[in-house]
Amino acid sequence: MMVVYVDDYRTLVRVGRIKARWSHMMGDTLDELLCFADSLGLKREWLQDKPSGVHFDVIDSKRVEAIRLGAVPIVCGEDKWRRVVDEARQQHSGLRRPRRFPVEAPTGSGDLVDPDNKGTPQNGPNVPDGEKGLMLDTLW
């Protein structure tokens, strides 16, 4: 049984020409995550292989499709989310990928941006103040 999760991060960010709300898709194993990503039509080179957790960044329409196909929705900051993020961190290969697109965060959003790709913690919409440092560093 394949288990893949999508969180409710939904942060509004522009990536290249796409301005959308982005969330994280993670799996119990890397193989499950890649297989599920294939079924969603995601390119494997879009995999975010980061020390903060291996994941795909997905826009809302892909998040909804993933849930329709069986992905488990999880809430940022909750215990289940922490377990999934911890597992995603264990899947990191040790390699860092360079940023592909320049990114701008919406003005006044309160979200942190990581212009140097050094893993600055992100502020999720449902992450309590004491948990801010636990967020995955995403493609920003």
User: What is the pLDDT confidence band of residue 35, given thresholds at 50, 70 and 90?
Assistant: very high
pLDDT score of 127 more than 70: no
For 90, which DSSP code? H
Is residue 39 within 8 A of residue 106, CB to CB? The reply is: no
User: What is the pLDDT confidence band of residue 94, given thresholds at 50, 70 and 90?
Assistant: confident
Pairing of the two strands 4-7 and 72-74:
parallel
Tokens found for residue 21: 């709300």
Give the pLDDT of residue 67.
98
Average pLDDT over residues 76-86: 94
Which residue in 1, 14, 10, 95 sits closest to 54, CA to CA? 95
Map out the domains of the chain as residue ranges: 4-134
Give the pLDDT of residue 113.
44
Average pLDDT over residues 30-58: 95
User: What is the pLDDT confidence band of residue 118, given thresholds at 50, 70 and 90?
Assistant: very low
Distance CA(3)–CA(1), nearest Å, equals 6
Q: How many helices (H) and strands (E) does the chain have?
A: 3, 6
Give the pLDDT of residue 5.
98
Distance CA(26)–CA(9), nearest Å, equals 13
